[in-house]
Amino acid sequence: MPGDLSSTRPIYRQVAEQIAEEIEAGVLPADSRISSERELAGRYGISRMTARAAINILVQRGLIVRRNRSRAYVAQPKFRFDLSSPGGLHEQLRKAGVRPGAKLIVAEKLPFEALAPRVIHALSLDETDDVYHIMRLRTANHEPVALEDSYFPARLFPDLLDFSLSDSIYGILRKYFSVMPASSIQELEISMLDSEWAEIMGVAVDLPTLEIRRQAFTADNVPFEYAHDIYRGDRIIFTARTAGVENVFAGSSPVWEQALHELETNR
């Protein structure tokens, strides 16, 4: 019931959760005005400072936005990104009916000696290898949502920089080089957006972000991309799928097949 605060958790968090539930249930649709601090204080019997703290939590989560300084409104629904899908952000947004976009920031060819050790290791490079370095600002319905900083071995993708890099890079690799992402190794780290990236994205400093460092592999287990991506946590919901044990062991070695057989026998 609205105003019923009985948990041992801090009151401002309880208020924030009740408002979040109303947003997720559609009771408060996108662009509708959130009650003022004074109104929330009266509704829940709390101080205006406590009401402000509740609103601040929802702003940080990206569920509401402030306009005209004091007014708060329900934000547009977040975009979804499936971390377990080998497909890129472009394809996932397009399938969701969202218009993907990309603004090219850096497109250059780098020699081996100019590369950081982590790039060399991730792409299994030797001293004769050059690499294409591509940095892009990614948008969804014209809204900046991510920065992608990627490296591709030049020997795998000759003349990659001659293509339109505002399109899906994975689409280019698939169409012109017959390379499709089959798997990846991803490291995830929560951080706050620093001033340099905030300026590039045109958003406020200290937004919550998810940093992803990714190695992408072909079906033959050849690394073809190393990327350091920064996604806005206030505008994207991240999902991941887990496979059943049958899918995990599908196509694996006889040793694993025997282990699966024993597991099923002992169920």
Tens of pLDDT, residue by residue over 65-118, are 888 767 899 988 888 888 887 767 888 888 888 898 999 999 999 999 999 999
Q: What percent of the chain has pLDDT over 70?
A: 87
Distances (CA, A) of 204 to 79, 110, 145, 196, 234: 19, 32, 12, 11, 11
Q: Does the pLDDT value for residue 252 go beyond 60? A: no
Percent helix / strand / coil, the chain, rounded to 5: 35, 30, 40
pLDDT band, very low/low/confident/very high, at 7 (cuts 50, 70, 90): low
pLDDT at 50 over 80: yes
For 117-155, write each residue's pLDDT tens digit. Answer: 999 999 999 999 999 999 999 999 999 999 999 999 999
| pTM for the predicted model, two decimal places | 0.74
DSSP 203: S
Cβ neighbors of 96 (< 8 A, separation 6 or more) are 79, 80
Beta-bridge mates of residue 215: 185, 226
DSSP state of 112: G
- Per-residue confidence (pLDDT) for residue 40, from 0 to 100: 93
Assess contact for 75 and 30: CB atoms under 8 A: yes
Counting Cα atoms < 13 Å in the Cβ hemisphere of 184 gives 22
Relative to beta strand 64-67, strand 71-74 is: antiparallel
252's CB contacts (< 8 A; 6+ apart) are none
Nearest to 102 by CA among 145, 62, 150: 145
Residue 122: what pLDDT?
96
What domains are defined for the chain? 11-74 (1.10.10.10), 79-239 (3.40.1410.10)
The DSSP string of 140-184 is ETTEEEEEEEEEEETTTSTTGGGS-TTS-HHHHHHHHH-----EE
pLDDT (tens digit per residue) in 154-213: 999 999 999 999 888 999 999 999 998 898 999 999 998 888 888 888 888 878 899 999
Q: How far is CA 89 from CA 26, 41, 106, in A?
A: 26, 41, 19
